[in-house]
Amino acid sequence: MIGKIIIYELKKRFTSWMTLLFIVMLIFQGFWYTKGYFDYYPNDGLLMNATAVSYMNLSACGMLMIIIVAIVTGTSLHKDLQYGTGQWIYSLPVNEKSFYVGRFLSSFFYNVLLALGYVLGIALLPYGGLAEAERFGPIPWGQLFQGFFLLTVPNLFLLTSLFFLGLVLTRKLAAGYIIIFGTVIIFLLMQTVSEGSGITPGLAIGDPFGYVATDGVTGQMSLAERNFSYLPIEGYLLTNRILWLSIALVAFLISYFRFNFKSFGNKVGSQKKTLRQVYTVPTENLKTTLVPHLSFTNRDFIKKLWSLAKLEFRNIIRPVSFKIIIGVIILMEVLQFLMWNASFYIGPTMPLTSTMTLFRLSFGVFIMMLIIIWSGELFFKDRVVKISAITDALPVPVWVTQFSRFLALSGMAFILAFTFMVVGIVVQLLTGGASLIEFGLFAYDMLGYNWGWLTYVLWIAVVFFVAGLTGNRFLTHILSVGALLFTILSFELGLAEQVIFAYAAVPGLEDYSEISEYGIWYTSAVWYFLMWTVAAIAFILLGIYFWDRGVGKSWITKLKFGGKQLNFAGKTTVVASIVAFFVLQSFIIKSVNKEGNFTPSAVLEERDATYERDYSYLADKAHPKYTHIALRFDIFPEERKAEYVAEVLLTNPSTEWIDTLFLNTKQAVSLISVQQEGKALALVKKDSIQHILAYAFDKAMVPGDSTRIQLKMKKQYTGFSQSGSEPQADLMANGTTGGIHEYLPVIGYCPDRELDENRIRSEHGLPKWDSRYPSVTDKKALQENPFAPDANRVTATITISTTENQIPFAPGRLVSTSEENGRTLRTYAISKPSYFNWMLGSKQVKQHRLAQGETQIVVLPSPKHPFNVDLYSNALKKGIHYLNLEFEGYPYKEVRLVEIPYYQGEFFAYPNGIAISEREGWYADTSGMKERGYIFQSTVTQLAKHWVQENMNIANVQGAEMLTVALPEAIGLQVLEKEMGEEALAQVLEKKRDYIGLHQANEPNKQPPLIYSDGADYLEPHKGAIALHELQKTMGKTQFNNLILAFIRESPEEPKVFIHLYQELLKEVPVSEKGKIKQLFEKVGPV
Amino acid sequence: MKLTIQHLSKTYPNGVQALKDVSLTIGKGMFGLLGQNGAGKSTLMRTIATLQDPDTGEIDFNGIDILKNPEALRRILGYLPQEFGVYPNVSAKELLLHIADMKGITQMGERNDQVEALLQRVNLYDVKDKKLGGYSGGMKQRFGIAQALLAHPQLIIVDEPTAGLDPMERNRFYNLLSELGENSVVILSTHIVEDVSTLCNDMAIIGNGEVLLTGSPMEIETSLNGKVWEKQINKSEYASHLEKYKVISNHFHLGKMLITVVADDMPDGDFYKKAPELEDAYFNLLFDRQNVMS
């Protein structure tokens, strides 16, 4: 019996064209996801069809597969309810339990067979033309099927069991959908949290699909293992599989025992008691009442529109199912706020409004899918309940009936968005954030077009259009949800970059800074929203125009301009909306692309590759270097403009004559004039694409010669940017921060522009790098420093003026503060030549002054973030004290710590200044030791960087960042241990190890041993710091510090190379520990 | 008050020709449209009710070109489709009030009066506030009748209206329809001959998308005067009678088979003359039609 049912069901399904469509979709997903995961792991040696990539794909299942599973799983059982066939099928001589098992297994096998399309897509990838042949290994059939049977098949069993459980218990498909959505939400929650805070046992086991556990296993694999090896079934992965398979079995058994023909077999609705009537004789005379007054004015229709909208709205929100769904979402929202709390690297944050509104993004896809499905259901409601034959013949125009539904859905979406907002506010209140509530931000994010209510409305318009166009409910769901997922995944996987291709999206929606807020994206978003709004107007009107009243019309009839469902004004509005859409699009393209505010990464990469090809010859030429700068810098924040004049002393440190001054400028910088000793220099070359200008010196600079150059410049952004990678924070209305080379040109060759990922280098025909830093034997690099290619150490006076409400900051000692024409002026001086790694800007900040010995300390947090100022102050005091004590003195008498937007980078230490990202602790919840320790250690590290920069000449070769970053980190750890104890030290070290585990897998090139480290986030600040700390432990802190001091004292002018320091330190390591230390520094391995 | 249909044709994308050059003129009163399942009745009804476009042809009601101006017809139309559903979570009164509003009865009081009166007439008054999801098939059908009669329509189209009604409700509906037929054009589409003969003053028989016959039921009935014969036979004799006579129908009575034969003279002595009924004329037409086609 079971076999017969399975064969019948599978035969029927496999003779449907939908099955073919699903398989094609899954093959496409196999291609698409593999490409996406491959791009996610930037390592050059990773094969595109690496087994690790396949395992990740097979565990995640993929959005398309989940949607398909949701669509097809329940129908085999539910169809008997839907069509009422259960009333006779269930009377056949079949055993009800066998029948249930047969239908269950047929659904499960169908899902499994469909999923083979996914495997096929992954397997066929090498033939897809996505990359060169060398990017692929042999098809790993064995590994693919191991992943399929270990990950995909159990996941499908889980989803099928849960769906059937929901269906058997409620007799409603909706229950199955909700369970599938719920499962996927748990999976996404686990996955997102693991990405933010590392893979914990709870996440690895709790993820229903085993994705996080698989990520944990593959993340620990070597490159060769990732490419070829089988997935070891052990540890958390094994536990995860056993747990979720057991849950699936339990779900199946419950549904098996609960299913019976009696309760399940009746047609939907028939379980309700049918009303009985007593026959009564009519008393009313029809003729006396049936001559009403009828009215069909436009005013009547508008009134009908409103009353219908209200009726439909009530019909949506009345049912218990709506309340259940909204309740589940609210529960998820509260859980996210309370349990996850948007942890960035630092950990949990204070209850800020921006963390509350993140819910709209983390659950945005599902809320949107829900709204889309709801919309599709409502637009087809009359057809589903088969009342359309009556309602379509009523004398009401289509625009009244359909648009009223659009309004009702918009109202429903508002209720959802508003509820999320209220829940956010309540949670903020309950978690002690009453004073931090920003109603404006709540409204902008939750109710506006920043993936809030208005975004929902824009997508409802799409459903409206698709419903009208197809006239098919099922197709409307598929196409609308598909369009949403396609848009989102295209961006997630990097297949699309321009927001102009993401319907209803606006720039910067994921890029809120607590300091700069949405910055330039406020302006961008308005224009994008306007563009999408006119598109939505066209969608709505076309939806009305195409909507089939009565029996469906042919395509030719639908597309005829003479259709009557839209009057002339309506048709004109459609045309006007389409024209307005393209006009706005052109304006946006002009403002974004043509103004240079956005360049697609492929174009940018090609431009940089061209730069390297065309201008790398400059690297071998001699160029003058900045020696002294007198800078007058006027910032006009509202205009996003800076006007500045730099009197620059250039020196020729080489042994060659220099006759040309090559200047590399940044986007939006205009070089108004370049004068040498008051006389304009002749422009001999201008490359507008690469932003290079070359000026001929009147008289060539001889070796050792110096000359004064006057640069008059302006930087101003026009138009607006379109993505998180272009915050343009170096000129921003509500606070500017930028590195010195954002404003002043780089002289000579700019190595920062070189492509540093080998995969991309080879794609552009450039030779691969062995290392991102020059070799330790590179003579030229040994004479350079890692901070700037065009300066060694520089002195300066910097005067910055800005608006009255902002405070200018710059490197150096504060010389004067004044006001001039309602503007604030500050002058800073760098008297002792310092490395050219400066940051400057102007901000609204609070000033907290304190002192440690002779050193004046100023802490400059955002006025919104007073939370952890004491922690930073304490760290600065303790750090300065420690350096004074152990390292012969902190180098500055004045130090300023400023909070900067997160997109500017994490930590900067420059003369007299420290800049720390807002996300590195300024609004962290520091109730835990881990967070307090992190803030303390990372702040002291910046002071130690000052000490290193001022006391050590560092060569620009491999290992440079072991000196500039890892060594200060290790000193930071020393101070942490001393001041906060071993527990704090252990927690910070654990955090560093987590970071390594999370990020070293993303090494795009080849991980070097620490003695040849070449600058990677996971390497020097984390792995290097831990290794140096381990090394220090072998000999004791005092000896370690003394050896460092001795290393500096020996030939102080000579550029230092880390490997030499390492060799000196190694000599003092006890023999018993030497092997371990050598392993740490000379080999690539775990720390 | 007149509905004129001229040269109406419709072919579905699957090749089925549902209407073939249909022309009809229907005046005030009850008009019966009789035809077998799949004859094209519902297609014709939907087309008149503005829910389907024909490939060719014209329909005019009192000067309204229905195909060009469907909106105008909908204002005076009452339509009961063959199959329809209801919103299960809404009460009959609520939904009728809503439909009345859509039909242009903008005054709330008037709307309420209309709905209450119709609920009385279709015997749903006592359950008017109950949700439609709990209604039986017959009650839903009566609800459908009520909605079709809202707003005093001038053209009423009822497609298989008595399906699911018990005899008492059927009679009640007949009364209601004939009352309405005094001031409106009522088109009754059915395959139940008795419905047409009972109610209609004019009718058409439709088969395979074509109008086979038009006229009053009386005219059609009397066209067979003196030609209809009936005989009781054994079931085993049926085949031989089929070969020998024009057997237009058969049915059982008290366990015996009764055949109806059309012939100018008495076929044999065992036959007895029968007063022709509309059903006989209908079966005779179908018989002739089948012969022509074969």
Give the tens place of pLDDT for each residue, A193-203: 777 667 888 89
pLDDT at A342: 42
pLDDT at A181: 78
For residue A1043, is it within any domain? no
pLDDT at A1004: 87
Q: Is the pLDDT of residue A264 over 80?
A: no
Domain C-terminal end among B164, B194, B221: B221
A316 and A431 share one domain: yes
User: Which of A752, A833, A786, A738 lies closest to A966, judged by CA?
Assistant: A786
Domain C-terminal end among B174, B202, B221: B221
Q: What is the mean pLDDT of residues A613-640?
A: 96
Phi and psi at residue A595, to the nearest 5°: -80, 0
Q: If 0-12 CB within 10 Å is exposed, 13-18 middle and 19+ buried, where does residue A203 land? A: buried
- Residue A389 to residue B84, Cβ atoms within 8 A: yes
Of A295, A390, A549, the CB nearest to B147: A390
- Residue A279 to residue B168, Cβ atoms within 8 A: yes
Q: What percent of chain A has pLDDT over 90?
A: 67
A169 and A300 share one domain: no
B115 and B154 share one domain: yes
Q: How far is CA A74 from CA A108, A155, A295, in A?
A: 10, 16, 47
A288: closest chain B residue by CA: B117
Helix (H) or strand (E) holding B261, with range, is strand B256-262
Q: Are A349 and A341 in contact (CB under 8 A)?
A: yes
Domain that holds residue A345: 296-551
- Residue A311 to residue B168, Cβ atoms within 8 A: no
A309 and A388 share one domain: yes
Considering only residues A923 and A340, tell me which one the structure prediction assigns the higher pLDDT.
A923
**Closest Cα in chain A, distance from residue B110 (Å):** 7
Indicate the range of A452-456, A592-596, A1057-1061 predicted with least confidence. Answer: A592-596
Residues of chain A with C-beta less than 8 angstroms from the C-beta of B49: 393, 550
- Residue A394 to residue B114, Cβ atoms within 8 A: no
Domain C-terminal end among B221, B247, B269: B221
B183 and B238 share one domain: no
Alpha-helix residue ranges (DSSP H) falling in A547-600: 555-559, 568-589
For residue A624, is it within any domain? no
Q: How far is CA A683 from CA A146, A663, A944, in A?
A: 65, 11, 43
Q: Amino acid letter at A752? A: D
Q: What percent of chain B has pLDDT over 70?
A: 100
**CA distance linking residue A56 with residue A747, whole number of Å:** 46
List Cβ neighbours of B247 (8 Å cut-off, separation of 6 or more).
Answer: B241, B259, B260, B261
B60 and B123 share one domain: yes
B50 and B64 share one domain: yes
Considering only residues A873 and A92, tell me which one the structure prediction assigns the higher pLDDT.
A873
For residue A864, is it within any domain? no
B121 and B175 share one domain: yes
- Residue B172 to residue A282, Cβ atoms within 8 A: yes
B186 and B265 share one domain: no
A255 and A311 share one domain: no
- Residue A390 to residue B79, Cβ atoms within 8 A: yes
Residues A60-98: tens digit of each pLDDT: 887 778 878 888 888 888 888 777 777 788 877 888 899
Name the maximum alpha-carbon separation found in chain B: 69
Q: Are A867 and A928 in contact (CB under 8 A)?
A: no
Q: Amino acid letter at A286? A: L
Q: How many domains does chain A divide into?
A: 2
B93 and B170 share one domain: yes
For residue A23, is it within any domain? yes
Q: Are A734 and A517 in contact (CB under 8 A)?
A: yes
Helix (H) or strand (E) holding A193, with range, is helix A173-197
B251 and B146 share one domain: no
Q: Is the pLDDT of residue A770 over 60?
A: yes
Place A1043 in a pLDDT band, splitting at 50, 70 and 90: very high
pLDDT at A41: 67
Residues A28-55: tens digit of each pLDDT: 888 878 877 777 666 777 888 899 989 9
Residues of chain A with C-beta less than 8 angstroms from the C-beta of B135: 274-275
Chain A interface mutation, best of B46, B47, B74, B114, highest count of A Cβ atoms under 10 Å = B74
DSSP label at A394?
Answer: S
**Closest Cα in chain A, distance from residue B86 (Å):** 6
B205 and B233 share one domain: no
- Residue B88 to residue A385, Cβ atoms within 8 A: yes
**Closest Cα in chain A, distance from residue B132 (Å):** 9
Indicate the range of A625-629, B57-61, B66-70 predicted with least confidence. Answer: B66-70
A249 and A301 share one domain: no
A552: closest chain B residue by CA: B52
A199 and A346 share one domain: no
pLDDT at A197: 66
Residues of chain B with C-beta less than 8 angstroms from the C-beta of A396: 74, 102
What are B240's two structure tokens?
A: 């031989």
Q: How many CB pairs under 8 A join A and B?
A: 151
A151 and A73 share one domain: yes
Place B74 in a pLDDT band, splitting at 50, 70 and 90: very high
A384: closest chain B residue by CA: B85
Q: What is the mean pLDDT of residues A379-383?
A: 91
User: Which of A981, A988, A903 lies closest to A941, judged by CA?
Assistant: A988
ipTM of the complex: 0.86
A270: closest chain B residue by CA: B134
A260 and A303 share one domain: no
Of A282, A296, A393, the CB nearest to B51: A393
B215 and B144 share one domain: yes
User: Which of B115, B90, B116, B95 lies closest to B105, judged by CA?
Assistant: B115
A71 and A184 share one domain: yes
pLDDT at A870: 97
pLDDT at A343: 43
Q: Amino acid letter at A539? A: F
For residue A832, is it within any domain? no
**Closest Cα in chain A, distance from residue B197 (Å):** 24
Considering only residues A470 and A41, tell me which one the structure prediction assigns the higher pLDDT.
A470
Helix (H, G, I), strand (E, B) or coil at A908: strand
Q: How many domains does chain B divide into?
A: 2
Chain B interface mutation, best of A388, A390, A399, highest count of B Cβ atoms under 10 Å = A390
What are A635's two structure tokens?
A: 């910032």
pLDDT at A280: 55
Strand A736-739 and strand B256-262: the pairing is unpaired
**CA distance linking residue A1069 with residue A1074, whole number of Å:** 6
A219 and A328 share one domain: no
- Residue A272 to residue B139, Cβ atoms within 8 A: no
B189 and B81 share one domain: yes
pLDDT at A100: 92
Residue pointed to by tokens 């033939």: A127
Residues A100-144: tens digit of each pLDDT: 999 999 999 999 999 999 999 999 888 877 777 778 888 999 999
Q: What percent of chain A has pLDDT over 70?
A: 95
Of A303, A311, A395, the CB nearest to B103: A395
User: Which of A88, A86, A241 lies closest to A150, judged by CA?
Assistant: A241
For residue A36, is it within any domain? yes
Residues of chain A with C-beta less than 8 angstroms from the C-beta of B81: 389-390
Q: Amino acid letter at B224? A: L
Residues A692-726: tens digit of each pLDDT: 999 999 999 999 999 999 999 999 999 999 877 78
Domain that holds residue B165: 2-221
Helix (H, G, I), strand (E, B) or coil at A331: helix
pLDDT at A493: 64
Indicate the range of A60-64, A511-515, A848-852, B121-125 predicted with least confidence. Answer: A60-64
pLDDT at A725: 75
**CA distance linking residue A592 with residue B42, whole number of Å:** 58
Q: Is the dihedral of CA A240, A243, A245, A248 positive or negative?
A: negative
Of B83, B121, B130, the CB nearest to A275: B130
- Residue B102 to residue A304, Cβ atoms within 8 A: yes
B233 and B95 share one domain: no
For residue A321, is it within any domain? yes
Indicate the range of A510-524, A578-592, B168-182 predicted with least confidence. Answer: B168-182
Chain B interface mutation, best of A172, A273, A320, A387, highest count of B Cβ atoms under 10 Å = A387
pLDDT at A944: 98
- What are the beta bridge partners of residue B61? B3, B64
